[in-house]
Amino acid sequence: MHDDILNYAKRLKLSWIPQHYQEVEAQSQQEFLLKLVEAEVTQREEKKLNQLLKQSTLPTVNGETFIWNDIQLPSGMTKDFLLQGDFLEHKTNLIFYGGVGTGKTFLSTLIGLTIIRTQAKKVKFYTVASLVNALLEANNNGNLGKLMKQLSKLDLLILDELGYIPLHKQGGELLFQVISMCYETRSIIITTNLQFGQWNHVFGDQILTEAVVDRLIHHSHLLIFNGESHRYKQSILNSK
């Protein structure tokens, strides 16, 4: 009988049960069964969460508290709208605009992490440069369809640092394809140091830029990151 249990448990991918069921303390058969299924569900959820976190390639955060003082939210917008991922419901995009060290990457990461932890949603973080490189490489290797399919399964795409590096023509066009695909079907957070009027310097083409901006801002909120660089503030504090 023991071998049969081992065999069935293995086929059900529940090998831990025959190994550990004797450690479960329960007053009744029902309680015993409850504890077993509960443990399995907890384990599966933890595993799924870890996978989502790993796949998201979000930067690590070091437990610092986010300071909201210098962030200009659109009127009526709450922190919960951002952190609880309410914006995902209507496939709204968020555009974080501001100078260096003002928390754009930090807040986008915080939102991504919170949405994964609380809602088990699929999030992926890229710098614009890294996504464009991945797109160019996939295109050269005949894997563009596969990459686009992966991207189409996301709930939230975070594109960090638009504007820091100008894109080559093909890179800009591929990025446009991604933005087009996401339009009205999923949310993007995009962080940038450039006003929309200067995005043509990134895409290198006025018509393409207009098409990108049009799609991104149609259902979007603009958050303005004011204030001084926190990196700068921290380095001054550390040097005192």
Ligand X SMILES: Nc1ncnc2c1ncn2[C@@H]1O[C@H](COP(=O)(O)OP(=O)(O)OP(=O)(O)O)[C@@H](O)[C@H]1O
Tokens found for residue 99: 């100078």
For residues 121 and 115, the answer to whether their CB atoms sit within 8 Å is yes
Binding mask 62-101 toward Mg ion (x if CB under 5 A, else -) reads: ----------------------------------------
Amino acid identity for residue 108 in this structure: S
Cα distance from N-terminal residue to C-terminal residue, the chain: 72
Nearest residue to ligand X by CB is 103
Asked if residues 89 and 22 have their Cβ atoms less than 8 Å apart, the reply is no
104 is a site residue for ligand X (CB under 6 A): yes
H-helix or E-strand spanning residue 155: none
Figure out which of the listed residues 93, 102, 200, 209 binds ligand X, where binding follows CB under 6 A: 102
The minimum distance between CB 220 and Mg ion, in angstroms, equals 19
Q: How many residues bind ligand X (CB under 6 A)?
A: 16
Least Cβ distance, residue 161 to Mg ion (angstroms): 6
DSSP structural state of residue 226: -
105 binds Mg ion (CB under 5 A): yes
DSSP letters of 75-121?
TT--HHHHHTTHHHHTT-EEEEEE-TTSSHHHHHHHHHHHHHHHH--
Q: Between 105 and 200, whose beta carbon lies closer to Mg ion?
A: 105
Instruction: Name which of Mg ion, ligand X, none residue 112 binds, using a CB cut-off of 5 to 8 Å depending on partner kind.
Output: none
- Residue ranges binding Mg ion (CB under 5 A): 105
- Residue ranges binding ligand X (CB under 6 A): 64, 66-67, 98, 100-106, 161, 193, 225, 230-231
